[in-house]
Amino acid sequence: MQVMFNVTNPLQREQTMTKTEDRSKIVAIKELLERDEDFVRSAVQGFVQAALEAEMTEALAAEKGERTEGRLGYRSGYYSRALITRVGTLELRVPQDRAGRFSTELFERYQRSEKALVGTLAEMYVQGVSTRKVKAVTEVLCGHGFSASSISAINKTLDESLKAFSERRLTDAYPYLILDARYERIREGGVITNQAVLIAVAVDWEGRRQILAVELANRESRSSWRDFLMGLRKRGLSGVEFVVSDDHAGLKAAIREVLPEAVWQRCYVHFLRNALDYVPRKVDDDCLRELRWFYDRRELAEVRRDIAAWLGKWQAKYPKLCRPYPLADMVTLSSKHAKACLTVEENIEETLSYYRLPLPHHKHMKSTNMLERLNQEIKRRTHVVRIFPNPESCLRLVRALAVEMHENWLEAMRYLNMDHLREHKKQMLRQAA
């Protein structure tokens, strides 16, 4: 009897599994972004507008303003056209030629191929797609194939708005600046690494929130944060009076170096999370609850009085949380344990800088929670991708989300009433005099 064995090449099996995972990932991305109409609408509008421009270029055999003997006509402005789609209304500018011969079938074809376009854009923003795939979609949209240069122009147009956003001049003064970072998994050089997404959000003197910058760094370090802040300075960042961040040593050093005039506020939420490391996991007393209550007080003098009472109450039970070790004992401890001893008694003042601000601003400026909504949106989208194929695709998606949130903030009601800060500064000057 002959026995047959089903021997599978491990490499082939691994490749098959990888392809299946990639297909599932792309499908999930497309489904997610297709449901997110606000995010996709601007991308679709940019793509269709670029396709119209490319179609006119092909029809005239010349770029806008290009001088060539083979030119078949000349441009003559635009007319407006609103295209209603399932991702919203697209406000388009349709190019015209002087002879009036140019005509496009894009709008009729678009209705039939909208799903393919949205899916391709979703993949483009997250994975990066080849010129061949973009060409296939534009052929369906416009009824003929574009040249490689036209396809490259369309791809370039899609990223130009993100580049313009990231390099725009910062002409306003921003008294409040909030800095934070999150990590994403990115494949680079065949190795999967965690790279830091550095984010800066500010409040201008009109009380509106703005996203100033989103950049990638290999890790959070003094040099990476310094370069990030110096980039903001070069773009015109000015008037920063108050900076909120976590207690990252490299970030603190960079703030001191680049923004020495600003008051630094340590995020109290991060501080309370750190405090959890110094109490038993199943603590059932009121120690941490009372510590949290300090940040609801109205006056700094009251807070300091309550902290002194709190230290007297809990320092015997939780000495590592409440007070630093004596200097003589610190010498005998390892660097790891010595760092752990720098606790409430020494560090809580760093979390109370917000008392220098007017009372109505305390709630918003004592933590980095302002960034939470943006971070939640980033996490929701990047969780589907899991591992980005390259740094460019990660930065493309996160910046696209940042542009969307930035525009929503500018259109929303004011985040803070900055008249409170103006009056508060006048009072401080009168008291100083």
What DSSP string describes 170-219?
--S--SEEEEEEEEEEEEETTEEEEEEEEEEEEE-TTS-EEEEEEEEESS
Place of tokens 């990639």: 22
In the numeric block, which tokens belong to residue 146? 């574009």
Segment 123-141, tens digit of pLDDT: 555 566 556 666 666 666 5
At residue 276, φ and ψ (nearest 5 deg) are: -65, -25
Contact predicate 131/150, CB 8 Å: no
**Averaged pLDDT score across all residues of the chain:** 81
Rounded mean pLDDT, 100-116: 66
For the chain, how big is the Rg over CA atoms in Å?
28
- The C-alpha angle 87, 184, 186, rounded to 5 degrees, equals 95
Rounded to whole angstroms, how far apart are CA atoms 148 and 397? 25
Give the mean model confidence (pLDDT) for residues 309-321. Answer: 91
- Beta-carbon count within 10 A of 380 CB: 12
Question: Closest by alpha carbon to 298, among 254, 242, 358?
Answer: 358
User: Is pLDDT above 70 for 89?
Assistant: yes
- Are 263 and 365 in contact by the 8 Å Cβ rule? The answer is no
In one-letter notation, the amino acid at residue 218 is N
Q: Which residues does 17 contact at the CB level (< 8 Å), separation at least 6?
A: none
* Angle, vertex CA 219, rays to CA 215 and CA 221, nearest 5: 100
Give the pLDDT confidence of 31-85 residue by residue, as tens digits. Answer: 555 555 566 677 778 778 888 888 888 888 888 878 887 788 888 889 888 876 6
Classify the C-alpha dihedral 54-60-63-65 as positive or negative: negative
Instruction: Give 267: exposed, middle or buried? Use CB within 10 Å, 0-12, 13-18, 19+.
Output: buried
Residue 9, pLDDT > 90, answer no
Tokens (6 digits) for 174: 């921003």
DSSP string, 311-332: HHHHTTT-HHHHSPPPHHHHHH
Which domains does the chain show, CATH number per domain? 21-63+70-166 (no CATH), 168-267+368-433 (3.30.420.10), 270-363 (no CATH)
Q: What pLDDT sits at residue 123?
A: 57
Give the pLDDT mean for 326-349: 56
If one counts every other C-beta atom within 10 angstroms of the C-beta of residue 415, the result is 17
Tokens 């918003």, located at residue = 364
Nearest-10 Cα torsion for 217, 218, 223, 227: -20
